[in-house]
Structure 1
Amino acid sequence: MSSAQPPVAVFALDPVHLPLLFPAALMTRLGEVARIDPSLVVRDFAGPGREAAHALAEADVLITGWGSPRLGTETLAAMPRLRTVLHAAGSVRSLVGAALWNHGVTVSSAVTANAVPVAEYTLAMILLAGKDAFALRERFRRSHAHPSAAETAPVGNVGRRVGVIGASRVGRRLLELLRPFDFEVLLYDPYVNPAEAAELGVRLLPLEELLRLSDIVSLHAPDIPETRHLLDRARLGLIRDGGVLINTSRGALVDHSALTDDLLSGRLQAILDVTEPEPLPADSPLYTLPNVFLTPHVAGSLGNELERLGRVVVDELERVAAGLPLAHEIHHADLARTA
């Protein structure tokens, strides 16, 4: 695309997210690199209004995000000039159909930026779990007394074994964050070879061995058919008594019926930001169990963290305007093994 002719861009996402994704300064920067109407947000490609239809017909770039309609053949029909989709969120798995890639449309995602707060949340949970902070808090609420030396003897983060399942973008960011601490970090990922594991500074193990050896297990694998219930009843049973499972990936990676049984028995602890289903039924015991720390899918970008996603989109749009390749391009083949 010629830098002499700025690309035409259109928003297609839930407009409630726009002010946080693109605050004033960032929206100004976006307007300097592309022709875009900040007040126009398309929610339907099949039957847009007259103004939206005209904008789509002229658009070279579509800026999507949470709440965007799925991009398929209707998108191509409405946007004959479309060349690039810039997604101001994480995964594009449920958003982009094969038709767009087959038509030569390039796709970029802010998934790497969205991985940052997920990894930070996970690190915080690992450190708190290693201090047994959640159980000690429950005990303190009941007794109003400080724990004894005997009660805290098993507590601490020195030499704690942390098992990371999946060297995804979040998984790799977490591995970086774990390096300054006195953990022994184990990794399971069928796509990582020993040489790469050595570069990552981790001990590569088969899944079953990782589960047996880890004090804390953290899930960062993609939600694909091959990983559904990756942690089934048998594999959950390999985690040592008192072990901690952290899931900030997708609820479908865990057999929640089996996990609930282990949690009800008190054998395991869990820190769950995602579940299956999501949210859990109102009568689920996981809301009130003392060995469960349950949060409402908040590990990813929230509040002022959304601006980081918007910056990725503007950076990519500047590359499009300059005729440069995308820095965060997603290829159709990537979806077979990524989120």
Structure 2
Amino acid sequence: MPGTRPVRRRPPAALAMSPEAAAAVLSPGALDALDAVCALGPHPVVDDFATPAARAALADAEVLVTGWGCPPLDAGVLAAAPALRAVVHTAGSVRGHVTDACWERGIEVSSAAAANALPVAEYTVAMILLSGKRVLERARDLRAARAPDDWLATPPDVGNYGRTVGILSASLIGRRVIELLRPYDLRVLLHDPYASDAEAAALGVRPVTLDALFAESDVVSVHTPLLPTTTGLVSGELLARMRPDAVLVNTARGAVVDQEALVGALRRGRIRAVLDVTDPDPLPPAHPLWDCDNVLITPHLAGSQGNELRRLADLAVEEVARWAAGDGFAHPVRRERLAFLA
């Protein structure tokens, strides 16, 4: 694995995730690399902590390598894992399985959220640029007409030169999107109540209010985590402030956007949207969003898939190696930051 460092010893470890997640993320090569930095032993992948096999795996594990489908690590589970000192997650959010009991015991936690942020940011930038050229709509029209396009008659509002992109939240993904947008002739705005003016200046963006972000942007890209304070944050009022033909891109969580208000704005033809997430997710077959021609809906594919899953495994191996060598995690999850994380 790239960057893997030698370790002084191989701490006992166990795998806790669904069998499907293990098969997708942990290739034979990844398992070999992981076994080189920790002692996995003969135990199977655990997705139910109540089984005898799970109890045997937990009995001496110092490190738990987790993934999608890992059950909650509550006090009862931790009682069966007296040596457990670290959790290394091969995906993004740890909210589903790292409980208060883990923090109270002082267990160190790492996440591959930084690795998973990369393909999401790449998808976002691609959609920003494609929407500026109206690629999907023009390809659809070309297929219907099957005749040459009069490119000199393209309206002057089509294109990416000088467009304004609004980033909602300087999260890991939001910051990566900002970084990837730097080579383009775009103006980038940011709204994040937790980012200082100095941080915005360092990112090369202009901080604005939430209202201004929606009113001034040709594209608004949503990167805020779903929290009680952000549920429905993108309201009908904000959508109404968007410029005619502006684009809303959401790769965060569907419930951050008022879905009913979004359907109304799309039906009126005021704005366009690119949605990799919806509420509910997936959408039921009869949902009105399917009938809106000005929205592109993709099946939650922006995050790591296919060969991108190798990046998650690589990061997990490196984190286990760092921890075993006494260097600490490069991507720690802090309890005090949970309120700001997805």
Whether TM-score is above 0.5 comes out as yes
Residues 38 and 267 of structure 1, relative CA distance in 2, 3 Å threshold? farther
| Matched position secondary structure for 1:330 | coil
Question: Equivalent of 1:70, from 56, 68, 72?
Answer: 72
Matched, 1:6 2:14: no
Corresponding residue for residue 164 of structure 2: 161
> What are the residue-to-residue correspondences of 1:115-264 with 2, within 5 Å?
115-148=117-150, 149-264=152-267
Partner of 1:153, secondary structure, is coil
1:146 shift after superposition: 3.6
TM-score (norm 1): 0.95
Contact kept in structure 1, 2:43 and 2:57, CA below 8 Å: no
Deviations 1:204-255 (A, max 9, x none): 1001011100000000011111111111111111111111000000001100
Structure 1 residue 59: deviation in Å? 0.5
Amino acid at match of 2:79: A
Task: Give the match's secondary structure for 1:85.
Answer: strand
Give the distance between the partners of 1:205 and 1:74, measured in 2 at CA. Answer: 47
> Structure 2 vs 1, CA of residues 152 and 67 (structure 1 numbering), >3 Å: closer, same or farther?
same
2:100 alignment counterpart: 98
What letter is aligned with 1:102? E
Q: C-alpha displacement at 1:288, in angstroms?
A: 3.8
Tell me the distance in 1 between the aligned counterparts of 2:34 and 2:69. 20
* Aligned partners of 1:135 and 1:290 also within 8 Å: no
Look up the equivalent residue of 1:10 and give its one-letter code: A
TM-score by length of 2: 0.95
- Tell me the secondary structure at the aligned position of residue 329 of structure 1: coil
Note if 1:27 corresponds to 2:31.
yes
**More displaced 10-residue stretch of structure 1: 310-319 or 22-31:** 22-31
**RMSD value over aligned CA atoms?**
1.4
Deviations 1:87-111 (A, max 9, x none): 0000112221111001110110000
1:109 aligns with 2:130: no
Residue identity opposite 2:326 in structure 1? G
Matched AA of 1:271: V
- CA shift, 1:4, in A, is 5.1
CA contact (8 A) 1:65 1:87 kept: yes
The AA in structure 2 aligned to 1:211 is: F
- In the aligned structure 2, how far is the partner of 1:41 from the partner of 1:20? 13
In percent, how many aligned pairs have the same letter? Answer: 47
Equivalent residue pairs, number: 335
Gaps of 5+ in 1: none
Aligned partner of 1:161: which letter?
Answer: T
Residues 160 and 215, structure 1, Cα contact 8 Å, conserved in 2: yes
- Give the conservation status (yes or no) of the 8 Å contact 1:112–1:169: yes
Query: CA 1:37–1:288 in 2, change beyond 3 Å: closer, same or farther?
Result: farther
Find the aligned partners of 2:173 and 2:31 in 1 and give their Cα distance.
28
Match of 1:37, as an amino acid? G
Separation in 2, partners of 1:91, 1:258: 28
Paired amino acid for 2:315: V
- 1:262–1:326 Cα change, 3 Å: same
Q: Deviations over 1:248-277 (max 9, x none)?
A: 000011000000011111111000000001
Moved over 4 A (4+): none
SS in 1 for 2:314: helix
Shift of 1:25: 2.5
* Closer/same/farther in 2, CA of residues 147 and 29 from structure 1, 3 Å limit: same
Partner amino acid, structure 1, of 2:137: A
Q: SS of the residue aligned with 2:270? A: coil
- Return the alpha-carbon distance in structure 2 between the equivalents of residues 20 and 43 of structure 1: 15
Aligned-partner SS, 1:66: coil
Residue 46 of structure 2 is aligned to residue 42 of structure 1:
yes
Structure 2: how far apart are the matches of 1:189 and 1:306?
29
Aligned-pair CA distance for 1:32: 1.3
Asked whether the equivalents of residues 160 and 186 of structure 2 are also in contact (C-alpha less than 8 Å), the reply is: yes
SS at match of 2:241: coil
User: Is the Cα contact below 8 Å between 1:20 and 1:304 reproduced in 2?
Assistant: no
**Retained in 1: the 8 A contact 2:48–2:54?**
no
Separation in structure 2 between the aligned mates of residue 67 and residue 146 of structure 1, nearest angstrom: 50
The runs of 5 or more residues in structure 2 that have no matched partner are 1-6
With 142-151 and 194-203 compared, the bigger mean Cα shift is at: 142-151
